[in-house]
Chains A and B, each alone.
Chain A
Amino acid sequence: DAGVTQSPTHLIKTRGQQVTLRCSPKSGHDTVSWYQQALGQGPQFIFQYYEEEERQRGNFPDRFSGHQFPNYSSELNVNALLLGDSALYLCASSFPGPRETRDTGELFFGEGSRLTVL
């Protein structure tokens, strides 16, 4: 059973460029969340997708956008890249279930996409 897969694993961009990161959730999972982890920091919540809609959003500018496809995979797009966008971008999926299990916080993380902005 494949876990959460992300691509690309590493990429280098220059300021002002745009980037698209991709994520395939763990089999059976329907919810995808994206987190940004800067060096030496904990992951910060960007947004969450469920049923192809953005359900929750963290404190990130509109330059950060996303999409979820019918097969539950997801993309994270970042426009007008800044140096400060350099980070590890983590995708996390979670399983469906009753409301109680949605509160367990049992997120399954992919290995991440490390973005360097020069």
Chain B
Amino acid sequence: QKEVEQNSGPLSVPEGAIASLNCTYSDRGSQSFFWYRQYSGKSPELIMFIYSNGDKEDGRFTAQLNKASQYVSLLIRDSQPSDSATYLCAVNPPMNTGFQKLVFGTGTRLLVSP
């Protein structure tokens, strides 16, 4: 079982729709969770991080965490063509407290059509 699993996609949504990206992780003790966006040929950039169960909103982005189900999601409202990218889910496993050794999923490719 992979430590962090994501559907590779592509996930295709029309402009203005809500894009829902999902991620599951295997280490139940993980405490911190991150979503990075990576445009083709570019480096990852942090969109959001979340520590507590529930929702965390930042502009058009909402991260959702359910530790009981070991599930993290990212919702993008009013999707724009500029949101087309690969979205990487990352987890900092518990043994790495104090260190930033992130374990990444393979990423989900999002395509937003005009």
Contact = CB atoms under 8 A, between A and B. Distances in A.
A26 to B, nearest CB: 12
Nearest to A4: B43
Contact of A42 (B32, B98, B105): B105
Interface in B1-30: 4, 8
A102 B100 contact: yes
Contact of B46 (A44, A106, A112): A106
Interface residues of B, number: 26
Contacts of A94: 100
Interface in B34-79: 34, 42-46, 49
Nearest to A31: B100
A104 B98 CA distance: 9
A107 interface: yes
A42 B100 contact: no
Interface residues of A, number: 26
A55 to B, nearest CB: 7
Given A43-B44, A43-B88, A56-B99, A105 B49 contact: yes
Contacts of A90: 43-44
Interface in B66-114: 88, 90, 92, 96-107
A102 B32 CA distance: 11
B106 A107 contact: no
Nearest to A45: B101
A112 B101 contact: no
Contact of B43 (A40, A42, A103, A110): A110
Given A35-B104, A41-B106, 16 more contacts: A33-B100, A42-B105, A43-B88, A43-B104, A44-B104, A94-B100, A102-B98, A104-B32, A104-B49, A105-B46, A105-B49, A105-B100, A106-B49, A109-B43, A109-B44, A110-B43
14 contacts: A33-B101, A42-B90, A42-B107, A48-B101, A90-B43, A99-B98, A102-B98, A102-B100, A103-B100, A105-B92, A107-B46, A107-B100, A110-B43, A112-B43
Interface of A: 31, 33, 35, 40-45, 48, 55-56, 58, 90, 94, 99, 102-107, 109-112
